[in-house]
Structure 1
Amino acid sequence: MKKNSRSKMSLLEIDELTVEFPTRQGAFVAVDGASLSVEAGQIHGLVGESGAGKSTIGVAIMGLLEKPGHITGGTISLKGEHISGLNTAAMQALRGKQISMIFQDPLTSLNPLLTIGDQLTETIRAHLNLTQDEANQRAIELLELVRIPDPKTRITQYPHQFSGGMRQRIVIALALCSEPDVIIADEPTTALDVSVQAQVLALIKELAREKQVGVILITHDMGVIADTTDVMTVMYQGKVVENGLTSQVLGQPKHAYTQSLIAAVPRPNERMHRFPLVSYGGRTQDFQIDDLARNWNKTEIDANQPLFEVSKLTKRFLKKSALLPSSQEYSTAVDEVSFNIQQGEVFGIVGESGSGKSTIARMIAGLYGVDGGSILFDGKPVTGVKDLSDYRRQIQMIFQDPYSSLNPRMRIDAIIGEPAKHHKLLSGKALQKRVDELLEQVGLTAAAGKKYPHEFSGGQRQRISIARALATQPRFLICDEPTSALDVSIQAQILNILKDLQEHLNLTMLFISHDLPVIRQMCDRVGVMQGGIMVEQRETEALFTNPQHAYTQELLSFMPQLKGI
């Protein structure tokens, strides 16, 4: 291996890295001459929009570029030794042992057929000279380190038996198995609630400080960057546009793109009427709310009649099956929860993973049965009613993941038109006209209807999901983490769309999110869930400025403060 010629040796050094993917139209440059370095004990933040090249840098370091992608220029050096030109066998020996990666989706990193213990001990024994018993003990210690309760029992369980937050902590434990010098964390907290996010980030900071591990933290969350990283690099379309100390870049950004990106971040301490859009490069897409409003059958708001009334709502899931019903064990996911939502109001629900917030949404949507309590919609009962077709036409749901919520085998026009077709509202040319109009109104074009989901970015797919939800002209939207998978610029666009819908069309919304600054911007009132119980519900500003319940106070204390912005 060739020695790095730089006089000052960093733990990890990337110098003028260029990565290309050959296509029929020529070479696509995913990373264009990027340079950055990571010191021992340092957390280096890497930010930018989807497609900026930040994740490509991560997989290039690991030697995991998907073919035919390849490095065409520059070098990657670890402890002064070039590793970008190593052969497959040499990279396999290095990967995991000296450099580990924490991926965004823990389900893609964990084998569903193996217990957590089997996966941890297999990795430990592959890199460390330990017996099976020693590896088992090391695995238990790692689970304790990442705050998994009762590790001796849980080590025998499978990935599906853990919440999303716990799975991510297990993936961190896997990354730590070989005691690496460098960890690349690719969006490690995207799907986590604020308290689990705080725990995961505290763990990463502790590893960097105490074990002198160098960390590259790839994320679109500026709050995470502000609270966690020492230095940061901003990328745009494959190029590095700005880097430096985190406090300097966030506090006094020099590049126009960085300035625009930071302006679009939801503020935790103030409420904005609209989110500033990232206008750099002229790529913003307009939502045609006026055109949509002209053809919308708006419902007048009745201040005396809540649109939704939820009373003592309860949901239990089977925990242990048995032949005798009396021997079966259940876990209570939602425990006698009550709230109401006024017409035209946005009601938010927050809480940790497993608190029951998404279960409530699915019961309201009719996707889960109700084990106790009642739901009233517009004064009429929903629970216990056999024919809910009219109710389901008036409510629609926007899901968290725009990738999995769209059928990859259906064209976009069929996806958007499906709800209206199912409810027999429109057909033929009238249906196609509605679909074309909706595509135009969410900032796409009618021609997009002829394409398939894989041909669109994450933000465009979420716009398509919104267009589908609006096809039946619903009165109520359930938004279950609608922006958690989106970068900050696309998030600003989507949240502005939802604000416009609520304000111009009198739409009522249930808004579920683990992102507390987003909740503060979007919601009129908020309910806080803990362990299946709604422990507090108040007007948004009152809750954020003067929380009453101890759990709410704790939850808000975990909220990133965007220091220096």
Structure 2
Amino acid sequence: MALLDIENLRIEFSSRRGNVVAIQDVSLSLEKGEILGVVGESGAGKSTIGNAVIGLLEPPGKMTRGAVLLNGERIDQLAPGAFRKVRGRRIGMIFQDPLTSLDPLQTIESQLVETMQVHLRVTPQQAHERAIELLESVGIPEARMRLRQYPHQFSGGMRQRVVIALALCCEPEVIIADEPTTALDVSIQAQILSLLRKLCKDKQVGMILITHDMGVIAEVTDRVAVLYRGKLVEEGPTKALLSRPQHLYTKSLISAVPRSDIKLRRFPMVTYIEDVHEAPKKDNLDIAKRWLGQQRHYGEHSGKPLLQVQDLGMRFVLKNAFLKQNRVMLDAVKNVSFSIREGEVFGLVGESGSGKSTIARLIAGLYQASQGSVIFNDVNVTQLADQKMMNAFRRQIQMVFQDPFSSLNPRMRILDIVAEPIRFHKLATTEKITRQIVSGLLDYVGLGDQALLRFPHEFSGGQRQRICIARALATRPRFLICDEPTSALDVSIQAQILNLLKDLQETLGLTMLFISHDLPVIRQMCDRVGVMRHGELLEVAETETLFSDPQHEYSRHLLSLMPSLDFLSREGLEVEAV
């Protein structure tokens, strides 16, 4: 008898247009101590299966056929009150988005302690001590102090570690991990995956690992199930399936995984999947010349530094106090200096909390530096006091954020979202011209006119990220900051977005700061790379030099943690190396 059995599962969502079948007769089993990987595109049904198992399938979704059995006991028909005793205690869930699964009004301690006291017979003191142990086990430093903080005081990767600690706190029999390492860098990812693997082996916990990261699948899973549009198309032992895939979809999916061994001119596309292609750009040459190319010659640059960061520092107050000596401070960035040449793509890598995103926000003027300076085009922007001059500077620097959905106003149409910076900076004389520019930009990023009057929730994650790129281009920037722009996207959608960014950089001569914890993506995208740890810049090198001969011990450590994907099938894949 298996630990978990999913038998002939069928899930439908009713709508005004009729029923949509999200899962079609899927059967899976999970043994004690086993990790089952589930892969597939967005919309394939991976998370829907996880939600059905844990009883969190939201209306109008419903199981119309099949059964879910835990240790031979059918749980899908349990009453809500009875299921609450299973959820959290016997089946734990690690959600992809930590912000939506953590209460912003409660401290981390109260959330962990409350969960343990609901399901376990422990005293508040015992729960408190176990909470500290859990935070330490998932790699959160100074756990005793940070326990009393709120979710907004943690970085994205740190919040994900808290969510993992919450899932583990009641020692469940089954863990459903839905993209558990999306926001984590390779070092913490390796630590978390090692922790989860050890937990499964030592405690005989079964785990369903839902992810789009083939490196994670290759590193920790025992078996893999491949989903395509709600159907199970292939299943088997991990190494055998990834090295000798049988289904065309699996072969195509594997082909889109970024290479870590060589640098390619373009990312291979997942050609098997319907509706996944690089959309034709009817008017991109025109929009490049008529709008994006105004007032300067794109593609022609001097090679001199466009941006210089000198002795930059940022200090956050973790605990305020009247007396200065009683305040608790965190140095997020410490004396960082580097320069980015015009037309260059400069990468920043490092573990979560190393200060990468803080530097991005300091450069963009979203944070005020505690010390040092940011010099853009020979102007010290950290000393700008005049609002007009600051707005002129901000127009030239734009950001593409990690989560496209949270950076788009859900109540605004796409036309107004992209037009907002054009209107704010008064870059167009009439609304008619504004609409023409927005239409051209959307077409340039592969969306087209049909997107103008729709809302963000009507688009996929990859399409939303294209909208964010169009909005960033609306002010005709010289400098683009990409902060983890593809970490939440499937490999096929990631390939599209990264190819789009490559096109922008080559066609428009944009200068970019590219922040990512995905080392293969960094290798493909960047000319030079800076390695950060604990707020300090440890090493700056040409990308190929860093990957072939890293100088700093920490850089060598990071590269050693990269999952080996040498055994992945490259059948029928034509690539052009740089």
Which TM-score band applies after superposition, normalised by the shorter structure?
A: over 0.9
Q: Is the 8 A contact 1:305 1:379 kept in 2?
A: no
Query: Which of 436, 455, 463 is the equivalent residue of 2:439?
Result: 436
Distance apart, 1:315 and its partner CA: 1.8
The farther-off stretch of 459-468 and 551-560 is 551-560
Q: Distance in 2 between matches of 1:346 and 1:151?
A: 36
Q: Is the 8 A contact 1:268 1:560 kept in 2?
A: no
**What does residue 172 of structure 1 align with?**
164
**What does residue 260 of structure 1 align with?**
252
Q: Distance in 1 between matches of 2:168 and 2:329?
A: 35
Query: Which of 538, 543, 547 is the equivalent residue of 2:546?
Result: 543
2:495 maps to 1:500: no
**What does residue 64 of structure 2 align with?**
72
The farther-off stretch of 346-355 and 132-141 is 132-141
Cα distance change on mapping 1:366 and 1:225 into 2, 3 Å = same
Q: Distance in 1 between matches of 2:126 and 2:181?
A: 30
2:473 maps to 1:470: yes
One-letter amino acid matched to 2:70:
L
One-letter amino acid matched to 1:342:
R
Alignment of 1:549-564 (within 5 A): 549-564=552-567
**What does residue 574 of structure 2 align with?**
none
**What does residue 41 of structure 1 align with?**
33
Query: Which of 398, 405, 409 is the equivalent residue of 2:400?
Result: 398
2:397 maps to 1:389: no
- What value does the CA root-mean-square deviation take over the aligned residues? 1.9
Please give the secondary structure, in 2, of the residue aligned with 1:509.
strand
Q: Distance in 1 between matches of 2:566 and 2:79?
A: 43
Please give the secondary structure, in 1, of the residue aligned with 2:336.
strand
Q: Distance in 1 between matches of 2:353 and 2:121?
A: 38
Q: Distance in 1 between matches of 2:331 and 2:184?
A: 21
Distance apart, 1:342 and its partner CA: 1.2
Distance apart, 1:120 and its partner CA: 2.4
Distance apart, 1:147 and its partner CA: 3.9
TM-score (norm 2): 0.92
Distance apart, 1:324 and its partner CA: 5.3
Q: Is the 8 A contact 2:181 2:189 kept in 1?
A: yes
Q: Distance in 2 between matches of 1:454 and 1:509?
A: 28
Q: Distance in 2 between matches of 1:439 and 1:96?
A: 44
Alignment of 1:335-484 (within 5 A): 335-385=334-384, 386=386, 387-426=389-428, 427-484=430-487
Q: Distance in 2 between matches of 1:389 and 1:151?
A: 40
Q: Distance in 1 between matches of 2:555 and 2:312?
A: 21
Please give the secondary structure, in 2, of the residue aligned with 1:383.
helix
One-letter amino acid matched to 1:433:
Q
Q: Is the 8 A contact 2:187 2:561 kept in 1?
A: yes
Query: Which of 507, 513, 517 is the equivalent residue of 1:510?
Result: 513
The farther-off stretch of 131-140 and 374-383 is 131-140
Query: Which of 116, 134, 137 is the equivalent residue of 2:108?
Result: 116
Q: Distance in 2 between matches of 1:332 and 1:132?
A: 32
Please give the secondary structure, in 2, of the residue aligned with 1:254.
coil
One-letter amino acid matched to 1:418:
E
Distance apart, 1:310 and its partner CA: 1.6
Gaps of 5+ in 1: 1-8
One-letter amino acid matched to 1:39:
E
Q: Distance in 2 between matches of 1:319 and 1:90?
A: 41
Q: Is the 8 A contact 2:160 2:183 kept in 1?
A: no
Q: Is the 8 A contact 1:227 1:563 kept in 2?
A: no
The farther-off stretch of 362-371 and 149-158 is 149-158
Cα distance change on mapping 1:369 and 1:210 into 2, 3 Å = same
2:319 maps to 1:320: yes
Alignment of 1:183-202 (within 5 A): 183-202=175-194
Q: Distance in 2 between matches of 1:28 and 1:391?
A: 48
Distance apart, 1:238 and its partner CA: 1.0
Query: Deviations 1:122-179 (Å, cap 9, x if unpaired)?
Result: 2223222333344334434433443444444444443334443333233222222322
Query: Deviations 1:80-112 (Å, cap 9, x if unpaired)?
Result: 222222222332222222211111122322223
2:237 maps to 1:235: no
Cα distance change on mapping 1:306 and 1:158 into 2, 3 Å = closer
Please give the secondary structure, in 1, of the residue aligned with 2:382.
coil
Query: Which of 265, 270, 275 is the equivalent residue of 1:278?
Result: 270
One-letter amino acid matched to 2:405:
Y
Cα distance change on mapping 1:338 and 1:186 into 2, 3 Å = same
Query: Deviations 1:419-464 (Å, cap 9, x if unpaired)?
Result: 1221111132111111111111211121211111111111111010
One-letter amino acid matched to 2:175:
I
Cα distance change on mapping 1:152 and 1:357 into 2, 3 Å = closer
Q: Distance in 2 between matches of 1:300 and 1:143?
A: 48
**What does residue 214 of structure 1 align with?**
206
The farther-off stretch of 173-182 and 423-432 is 173-182
Query: Deviations 1:196-235 (Å, cap 9, x if unpaired)?
Result: 1111111111111111100000011111111111101111
Q: Distance in 2 between matches of 1:300 and 1:256?
A: 39
2:533 maps to 1:530: yes
One-letter amino acid matched to 1:369:
Q
Cα distance change on mapping 1:132 and 1:261 into 2, 3 Å = same
2:242 maps to 1:250: yes
The farther-off stretch of 355-364 and 300-309 is 300-309
**What does residue 27 of structure 1 align with?**
19
Alignment of 1:291-306 (within 5 A): 291-295=286-290, 296-297=292-293, 298-299=297-298, 301-306=300-305
The farther-off stretch of 102-111 and 154-163 is 154-163
2:84 maps to 1:92: yes
One-letter amino acid matched to 1:542:
T
**What does residue 6 of structure 1 align with?**
none
Please give the secondary structure, in 2, of the residue aligned with 1:459.
helix
Distance apart, 1:44 and its partner CA: 0.4
Q: Distance in 2 between matches of 1:346 and 1:554?
A: 23
The farther-off stretch of 235-244 and 389-398 is 389-398
Query: Deviations 1:348-376 (Å, cap 9, x if unpaired)?
Result: 01111221111111111111122322222
Cα distance change on mapping 1:419 and 1:166 into 2, 3 Å = closer
Please give the secondary structure, in 2, of the residue aligned with 1:478.
strand
One-letter amino acid matched to 1:407:
N
Q: Distance in 2 between matches of 1:410 and 1:238?
A: 31
Please give the secondary structure, in 1, of the residue aligned with 2:556.
helix
Distance apart, 1:490 and its partner CA: 0.7
Distance apart, 1:537 and its partner CA: 0.2
Distance apart, 1:309 and its partner CA: 1.6
Cα distance change on mapping 1:514 and 1:413 into 2, 3 Å = same
Q: Is the 8 A contact 1:97 1:127 kept in 2?
A: yes
Distance apart, 1:563 and its partner CA: 4.8
TM-score (norm 1): 0.94
Q: Is the 8 A contact 1:16 1:75 kept in 2?
A: yes
Gaps of 5+ in 2: 569-578
Please give the secondary structure, in 1, of the residue aligned with 2:452.
helix
Cα distance change on mapping 1:381 and 1:149 into 2, 3 Å = closer
